[in-house]
Structure 1
Amino acid sequence: MRKIKGRFWIEENGQTLLGEGRVRLLEALLECGSISASAKKLGISYRKAWRLIDELNKAAGEGVVLKSSGGKGGGGTVVTEKGTKLIKEYRELQVRFYNFLDGELANIEENLKS
């Protein structure tokens, strides 16, 4: 079975703003509620997760993820409405992207038959 593979991400001035890894991190944050648990789930370091969140918040111009420090009551992480919307829009774009690739593969296969 033939398959076209591809990846996409959104950049600004050569810097990644949003891609699969950052979206997966946002989804893990929604599920786990903490940076530490999310990083562990994704197999990345806490430091890397923190850096990705910080970069995403700065790029968005407003909070996509809100963090509270640990302590007696414990810390936590909340994905904002904007963050949830980014996840949804990215996943919808991903579906359209893969549908496009499937259509292009169908065109290529048709040309191979002729």
Structure 2
Amino acid sequence: MDMSYKRAWDLVDEINRICRQAAVARQAGGKNGGGAVLTPFGVSLVARYRKIERDAASAVHKELEALRNDIRHPKKSTERGRDVKAH
């Protein structure tokens, strides 16, 4: 994820602070090193977020495809965003 261990824990703490209940539970270190697990609330939070992602992707699908098509196949009458005059 290209972030430090401390940054990851800071983000976990921030998520827990802003939510109405803990989303992540810390597990104390020891023989197995400890770690963290999602609480039932955290699981529901992730599920809700993933649904929002799917709904948003579905809502913009047609427009994004049109944009991709325009980018892949630019009009021949333009060159780098400027109109090209026919000779």
**Coarse TM-score class (shorter-chain normalised):** 0.5 to 0.7
Amino acid at match of 2:53: Q
1:100 to 35, 59, 74: 59
**Quick one: distance in 2 between partners of 1:49 and 1:100?**
31
Select the structure with the greater relative contact order (CA < 8 A; seq sep ≥ 6): 1
Q: Which runs of 5+ in 1 are unaligned?
A: 1-41, 110-114
TM-score (norm 1): 0.51
Identity of aligned residues (%): 34
- Map Cα deviations across residues 29-73 of structure 1 (whole Å, 9 max, x no partner): xxxxxxxxxxxxx22111110011000001112110010231345
Bigger Rg, which one: 2
- Work out whether 1:85 is the aligned partner of 2:44: yes
Change (3 A) 1:73 1:99: closer
Tell me which protein shows more helix as a share of its residues. Answer: 1
Count matched residues.
68
RMSD of Structure 2 on Structure 1 (CA): 2.3
**Quick one: distance in 1 between partners of 2:24 and 2:61?**
34
Deviating beyond 6 angstroms after TM superposition, the runs of 4 or more aligned structure 1 residues are 106-109
**Quick one: distance in 2 between partners of 1:73 and 1:87?**
26
Q: Secondary structure at the match of 2:21?
A: coil
Q: Which runs of 5+ in 2 are unaligned?
A: 70-87
